[in-house]
Structure 1
Amino acid sequence: MGVTYDILLHYLNKQAEATGESVLEKIDVYGRKKIVDIGCGGGFYSFQFAQMNKFSEVFALDVDERHLEFVKKQSRKKNIPNIFPILITPNQDDLPFKKQEIDLFFLRNVFHDIQRPIKYFSNLSKNLTQQGIVVIVEFLPNTKFVEGRTGHCTAENEIQLIMEKAGFSLKKSFQFLKPKQSFNIYQLK
């Protein structure tokens, strides 16, 4: 991986860090044994989850091998042994986990990339423990922000409708990332 791409991933991590502490404060992270960061990018949240739960397993999933190589390199550099990068494909509806194995699924700014979201989250629900949660932070369609103008976004009510159809109910909703992003936590019905 080139130095230029590393710089991009460091930049993405800095962007995540800007609101990261506030987001993490709202998520019940402690005591969760298996956490999945879907679309991990530069790994900011994967690193945070792994450090907050030193005895947990954090699975960093991404469709880009360069992201996973960066996460591997940074986890070695930071001496964080409990992060496990996994390459997935863009149209993959099933994730490589057992039934009721995962305590927390986390998605930040990737919902809009999921090709068949109802099927995807319906399948994902089988991997979630009964007390498990799905955390979704997603860009909103707002023309003030480049993501909202370029289609890298999903309306909050659309996410809620999809999650409802996939077998989830809204547990908590937070407003402090608006108008740029929505932030919702879902649980099994």
Structure 2
Amino acid sequence: MGREIAHVMSFEGLDWLERNSREKEENTNLALASLPLSDNSIVADIGAGSGFYTSKIAKLIPNGKIYAVEIQDDAITYLKKIATNDRLSNMEVIKGTEQSPNLPANSIDLAFMVDVYHELQYPAAYLTALKKALKPNGQLLLLEYKAEDPKVAIKPEHKMSVKQAKKELLANGFKLIKNATFLPLQHFLLFKKTD
């Protein structure tokens, strides 16, 4: 749809995901505080990576559940260690595929992708599978580096514009319901299913 699909960042990028400067650079605490969550939400962190967001959200939803979805075996092993070591009984690690998160149908209140959507190798197929996993009022949140901002020092194929995200998501059954501009480097784009 007029965009180069980026290569998936390998799990060798663990240090980048867990860098000490990440909170300050991306204001991750504000992103977390802005998530549409209740204490019993069922959430999916798609492309969970190191679990940077997953483990924090698990603590915010004590009566809920978070699925950490990954396709890379090294990340899955790492996420399972986090769940065990941090005693996160409401965190479940799921091995997804390039075309599906492999989540139960009609089970998710919120799915989110932090700098992941642009790496989906089969975005249409993946969104179709994700739609099935979302409850009727389920939502999808994309945090993506701002393509419109030349000061965001990320490779162009690893950025997304609001226009491009809206175009792709609308074509796959999602409507933008919130475009929050409070993060310094990323878009905060909340979508709901259109059908």
TM-score above 0.5, yes or no? yes
1:63 aligned residue: 71
Do the aligned partners of 1:39 and 1:110 also contact (CA within 8 Å) in 2? yes
% identical aligned pairs: 23
Alignment partner of 2:136 out of 121, 126, 130: 130
Shift of 1:16: 5.1
The 3 A distance-change label for structure 1 pair 8 and 21 is closer
Unmatched segments (≥5 aa) in structure 1: none
* Structure with more contact order per residue of length (Cα contacts < 8 Å, sep ≥ 6): 2
For residue 78 of structure 1, what is the amino acid of its counterpart?
D
The Cα RMSD (Å) is: 2.3
Equivalenced residues, count:
181
Stretch of structure 1 that moved more, 75-84 or 166-175 = 75-84
Unmatched segments (≥5 aa) in structure 2: 1-11
Question: Aligned equivalents of 1:146 and 1:108: distance in 2?
Answer: 17
Alignment partner of 1:121 out of 127, 130, 133: 127
TM-score, normalised with respect to structure 1: 0.84
Q: Secondary structure at the match of 1:151?
A: helix
1:81-127 deviation per Cα after TM superposition (whole angstroms, max 9, x unaligned):
221112223xx222212321111101000111012223321331121
Do the aligned partners of 2:108 and 2:138 also contact (CA within 8 Å) in 1? yes
2:195 is equivalent to residue 187 of structure 1: no
1:166 aligned residue: 172
For residue 178 of structure 2, what is the amino acid of its counterpart?
K
2:61 aligned residue: 53
1:175 aligned residue: 181
For residue 137 of structure 1, what is the amino acid of its counterpart?
L
The 3 A distance-change label for structure 1 pair 166 and 7 is closer
For residue 179 of structure 2, what is the amino acid of its counterpart?
S
Question: Aligned equivalents of 2:50 and 2:179: distance in 1?
Answer: 25
Q: Secondary structure at the match of 1:44?
A: coil
1:146 aligned residue: 153
Alignment partner of 2:22 out of 4, 15, 18: 15
**Structure with the larger helix share:** 1
